[in-house]
Amino acid sequence: MAARSKYEMVQRWAEIVIERWQARMEALEVGSTGELMRSFHAQVTNDANGDPTKVTFAFLYYGRFPDMGVGRGITLSDVPAPGRPVKPWYSQVFLGEVVKLGRMLAAKYGIDAAMALSAFSDSIYQSGITIR
């Protein structure tokens, strides 16, 4: 079997992330029409050498709301809301998978992965994004 390139490894990782998100959504009964499940896409962007520099995930925006326990009149300041369960299909899976990707890249390619994860965590912190 031929060794996978970084691009192939990251592309497959992105596909696995989507599969795990969808499995988690099914387990938590997120969405009822299937439209959200069908909306998932991933794109791996490479530099001039063919090395992956960015992974972009896209899906319908409203899919984040159950993960945070908001929507339909419930705001983030209202969480936890009685009778409104938080369904953590996105954040927990994503952060766990990012760590796994970092470990795989570090094992195969060394320091590159550690630097990428450091840059990722810095960008999350600086953006003010709250991961629930």
Query: Could you report the per-residue pLDDT of 64-120, keeping only the tens digit for each?
Result: 888 777 777 767 776 666 667 778 887 778 878 888 887 887 787 775 656 666 666
The pLDDT tens digits of the residues spanning 1-57 come to 445 688 888 899 999 999 999 999 999 888 778 898 999 999 998 888 878 888 888
Encode the chain in three state secondary structure: CCCCCHHHHHHHHHHHHHHHHHHHHHHHCCCCCCHHHHCCEEEEEECCCCCEEEEEEECCHHHHHHHHCCECCECHHHCCECCECCCCCCHHHHHHHHHHHHHHHHHHHCHHHHHHHHHHHHHHHHHCCCCC
Q: What is the pLDDT of residue 1?
A: 40
The pLDDT tens digits of the residues spanning 5-20 come to 888 888 999 999 999 9
**pTM, to two decimals:** 0.72
Q: What is the pLDDT of residue 22?
A: 92
